[in-house]
Structure 1
Amino acid sequence: MQIPTRSFSALVLVLLAAACGSTGDSSSMPAASGGAVVQGTVMGGGSQNMRVAVPASSAATTTDAAGGFVLTDVPKGAAALQFSGGGQNATLATAPMVAGEFRRLTVSISGASVTEHSEQTETEFEGTVDAIDGMVLTVAGRKVAVTDATRIRKDDAAATFADLVLGTPVEVEGTLNADGSVTASEISIEEKEEAERIAFVGTLTQIAGNTLTVGGRTVNVGSSTVIVKGDATVTLADLKVGDRLLVRGTVQADMSINATRIRVLQREDEPEEMHVAGQVTAVDATTFTIGDTKIATDASTEFEGSGFHSLADLKVGDFAFAEVMKQADGSLLAKEVRKFTPPPPG
């Protein structure tokens, strides 16, 4: 996602604890409150230097030359984004924000009309499994659908749905659907800790062995720290001074942060990687469409799953996850495609 070139100061976001409800173990994740981060792209004429704001709050930013933006300090529960500038003024109704959430979205705007491309909306958030209904979890107040393509991990190893019991603290990654539910692409089972969990956005200013300075805070990187950039997992050696990072972790007695997850926010001059997920609406010889999003394939595209070897095995009506790279001309090229079967309606 393109990132505004201006710097922004570190913002500490205290992550959400267990969502309301008595079915889970409320002690598995400490109670907290805080803001969220939205990284997005505005498509359409006049998308440059457009103001993006959360109504009735101080959260606001401006899009860059490519229409990209990063909006921090988004209040928990915020359910609208306002886009204004260049003769356009439109408000988008969104699924309510979860505290500490990272959300990535793409919108198209024309005059007073703005549309979210829901099949491209990604979310990462933490919470506790508070309810289980078939293959649907309730985490941080959201319904999370676990499919046959969902990857479940614990301690950097594969886990199963059976490991997701009530009270389990998890981090969920997936597609945020228009109804506010989530189709999970990956669920990471986290350790039950009493320590305060926080997240913050800041610029990496120093690397000293396994210790980073991010937005003036000391961040400890351990063997279990997951570092991601776009859709790829990277290493500590891939981090560079000047990178903008979203850090999640636990606060230590000396106020340093033991990082559990670090996300590198992509710069404006870097290729954009993203997920697209949903029902397939069209397929031809070299492209397919999920929702309204058209995706190309080439010889390097990987098709993952039993009996899924090529685009010829994908049919209209199937459900698919696609990891894609945005090309210079704005088109999307699939790196990996996975079919999935959504849980039956509740």
Structure 2
Amino acid sequence: MKAFLTLQPKLFLLRISLFIFAATSLLPSVLHAHHNRLELDGLVTELTDSTLSVDGLLLFINQYTEIRDNNGNLILLSDLMIGDFVETKADVQIDGSFITTEIRRDDNGEEHESKLEIRALIDAIDNNFLTVSGVQIFVDEETEIKMHGDEFLFEDLNAGDSVEVKAEFIPGEYFLAERIKLETEDPIEEDLETEGFITELGDSSLVVNGLTFFVDENTVIRDHDITISFDDLNVGDFVEVKAIFLPDSSLLAIEIKLEDRNESEIEFTGTIEAIDTSSLIVSGIPVNVNDETEILDDDNNPISFDELMVGMHVEVKALLMPDSTLLAVRIKVEDENEQQIQITAPIDTIFSSNIIVGGITFETDSNTVILDDDNNSISFEELEIGMIVEVKGRLLLSGNYYAIRIKAEDLWHSSTDISGTLNSIVSANGRIANNEFTITSNTLLLDEFGNTVDESYLTVGMMITVRTKLNELNIEEAVRLKVKHPDEIKLNGIISNISAGSITIGNQIIDLQEFTFITHQNGNQINDEDLGEGFIVNSQILSIPNQTDKAVSIKITRSPNIIKTTGTVIEKSDEYIVVSQPLFQINTSTVILNSEYRITNYSSINIGDIVTVWADNATAGNQLALQIKKITNTVTNTDEVDNGLITDYTLSQNFPNPFNPSTTIRFTVPERAFVLLKVFNILGEEIAVLVNNNLAEGVYNINFDASHLPSGIYLYRIEANNFSQVNKMLLVK
């Protein structure tokens, strides 16, 4: 297949960074304004006052390069030594040189693998070597070359193509490409993005969430990394659609992505009770195996079916077959002696390859499974402070926890849910790992069977599940605490049937109890009548031999009634908001989040803001917004300067100055450019993103609201190509 790349006119990339400091000496890294970037992990081979070489590749350092140790602490260039293993990020300059923005010294004593990721243009091709921004990269028969999921040959590559290359360093020799991804220089930006079920299909159109999207020959349709045709779509498929508005206000789909929603798939945990030649029974659930079943030990190493033993604790992923039997897709052995924990809460801190959630530090590595709310794999870099995540981890000898799996959740909620070993209980104060909570007279305490008990029932070492909320004194207060029964198992899947007092997940009938704890996607407690067929749920089941299975808890992870739409606010009132085209009702329970996942007021959303809306579509024609999250703020083009008369990027002094609590920042853009406006605190930690989109030529005003910040001197910074400028402003409260 020959590679034909249509490159749109290249945009100049403008980045405006607003930093918060009490002193100018701690400036964080400059976010250089280029599409092209480099990430390089390896050994420091040379070091000067302004450069370092990593595996022989020369990187430049300036006063804005951020250097940190393995714990995330700022260090000096003089603290680095030849032979140190470092993780670096750099921007590719116009002349092909690399300006380093971040250096992180990894000094935990572990063995590391040198690797490179670079996104830039191909300079030259010679035999089996590519030169990408001056870096020679060898390509062999194992190198994967793709664009939009389609496979390409090395011969299809051309000098000038935009590529993203992932390579490993062969010591003393060269970089070996593992993957080459062909890209277009500037993808089309969508006006609207939504996900939901296809309810209608025409010859060249589909209806999703009540919106009609047209398709043409340029619409990209994918099932994961595989390109499919429009004819492969079906009514009932769950899809994510990105679209642009045509001049007649109709919507043209530029990308349609088929999402995983396998109604026949279930996951469960339990103990192997019996094994036959091609089947086993796990906590009373029969499951078949075949040659395609993946079987792993507790270190994720492949093992044979013959190595499974009665008494092992396993996690099973299975498919419900037409004859109502279960066929195992994957069986993973779990170490029962490991001290495990599971917590759902916002991310407090991210540093190096660690995250802190609910006061508990979790380490990650390449084996950590990281998923978004739709169960798609995402990278560690896509996690953000403030994001609600569900983390499953195990205790390490260091006292930290290793994250086995991290799953991001779309809908924000104020409660923390945690399951693990009760490490201490003193005077109504309990602790799981580093997560402390207080038991009050309002706390619902339940034993292993759901019976109400008092605090004296609790003993150190018990496995418990507790939900907490911050009270007015900023103390985590236990709302509900239940002691786990040894025969509790996990059962996740789609509700296929609901009858009086029971639900069916896969082929398992589960009885609902008075103590069954049922929660909505947004974390709120709901009743069993709020459940519906087609809901995807995570559940804890009390599965005692020779007794009916009883639901301990049911958590809705996906409802067919919840829709998600991203677009521009074009109209709003106290009762509704219009985003690109759809109208959503607003009420007092609608959660409003800023771009940093902090609760904010509905009044902070303005016409022109880009937002994501999660809405309940249960009532036809009445989409109630459950949550609105700001993606970017409004940037006002003043139209004060005729097109063509702006020749430079400029950054004006804010007005008023001093200010309280808000001020206006003005800047000019001489050509269409991507604008990024960020806020950082004194430690260089990102606390706000004010602008993150393309702007046309013009003079712009942006309002900065510092009502949540303390008095002090603040700096705001503009950067574009080789231009940069820093201005001071003063907040006085």
Query: TM-score scaled by structure 2?
Result: 0.25
Which structure would you say has the larger Rg?
2
Higher relative contact order (CA 8 A, sep 6+): 1
What TM-score do you get using the length of structure 1 for normalisation?
Answer: 0.47
